[in-house]
Amino acid sequence: MTPLALSLFVAIVATLISASLGAWLGHRLAHGSRPIRRALEALLLAPLVLPPTVIGYALLWLLGRRSAIGAGVERMLGHSILFSRTALIVAATIAALPLMARTARSAFSSIDREYIAVARTLGASPRRVLFQVELPLAAKGLAAGVVLAFCRSLGEFGITLMIGGNIEGETRTASVALYDAIAAGRSHDASTLAIALLAVGIVGAAASGWLIEERDRA
């Protein structure tokens, strides 16, 4: 699998995971109690402010053979998830989740509380309110988060290199291949990868901004 194709595969899977988990976290951030909100905000802020090497090192320790979690996973799967495509998905999901969750929080917080109050007055359960009232109203904001999560997953580098390595055909993503090309002086390869990643980033940022503007106009 080529680096760009691998990056697309990883980004799609990581986006699906972060979209589901991030929407739930965003809802909790918007409507949860203050202690829960503070704990979640601190957890989600960490990947944004900590150096990727620190997060990667923590994951190496957490998922390595010497840890209970890493040893348990290896017994279940028959191999360590480190330096595998699974590790790439873990890295991309951790990088994308904060963006998705924080965008989802904004989307849910922007909903007029009167809609929720009316639905509950009519006897709708919290689950029904979520799926039939809140999610449709927050759809554009959530879509913006999904776009940002995909772009962030596609360009993830630091955590990916730490726990995924640079195995050709297996864990060499587009961002890692770009680093290799620059280091080796292959300017043509580096330019091609850089332009592809830049194009996705620009289109994604524009699409996300448009979705947020549409949400605010609604």
Low-confidence ranges of the chain (pLDDT < 50): none
Question: By the 8 A CB rule, do 1 and 80 touch?
Answer: no
5: exposed, middle or buried (C-beta count within 10 Å: 0-12, 13-18, 19+)? exposed
Query: Quick one: pLDDT at residue 218?
Result: 62
Q: What is the pTM of this model?
A: 0.89
Query: Quick one: pLDDT at residue 169?
Result: 85
Structure tokens at 178: 């770009």
Give CA–CA dist 52/92, Å, rounded. Answer: 11
Phi-psi region of 169 (alpha: psi -120 to 50; beta: other; left: phi over 0): left
* Domains of the chain, residue spans: 3-217
Closest alpha carbon to 15 in 83, 86, 107, 89: 89
Give CA–CA dist 140/191, Å, rounded. Answer: 34
Give CA–CA dist 101/203, Å, rounded. Answer: 21
Give, in order, the Cα–Cα distances in Å from 77 to each of 65, 70, 73, 80, 212: 13, 11, 6, 7, 41
Q: Which CATH class is domain 3-217?
A: mainly alpha
Query: Quick one: pLDDT at residue 77?
Result: 77
Give CA–CA dist 110/99, Å, rounded. Answer: 17
